[in-house]
Amino acid sequence: MAAINKAAKPQWLSRTLAGTCLGFTLALALSGVFVRLAPDAAGKVQMAMWLMPPVWLAVASLAFLFRDGWRASAWLAAANVAAWGLLFLLPPGSSG
């Protein structure tokens, strides 16, 4: 039992850090993608602002489904690269 707890502790810390840090940047990028893709409306930017915390929490929660922290970091980093790449490829529109 002690061996299981000893091996699990570093994994929890690395998954938490991956979900928190990389989850925040992913939620920020997805919020920006939402602003660029959504039709022009009065509350578009406000909606993007309110969507960011649930997306961040969802990504941070999903980080605990990975086997270890390295896999969580790798997949979330790849998702960040894809989301930020999409954000910079989309044409900027009016923000609201």
| Interval 13-41: pLDDT, tens | 999 999 999 999 999 999 999 999 988 88
The pLDDT-based confidence of 6 (bands split at 50, 70, 90) is low
The pLDDT-based confidence of 4 (bands split at 50, 70, 90) is low
The pLDDT of 41-61, averaged and rounded, is: 94
CB under 8 A, 24+ apart: contacts of 76-81:
76/18, 76/19, 76/22, 76/23, 76/26, 77/22, 79/22, 79/26, 80/22, 80/25, 80/26, 80/29
Higher pLDDT, 44 or 9: 44
What is the pTM for the complete model shown?
0.84
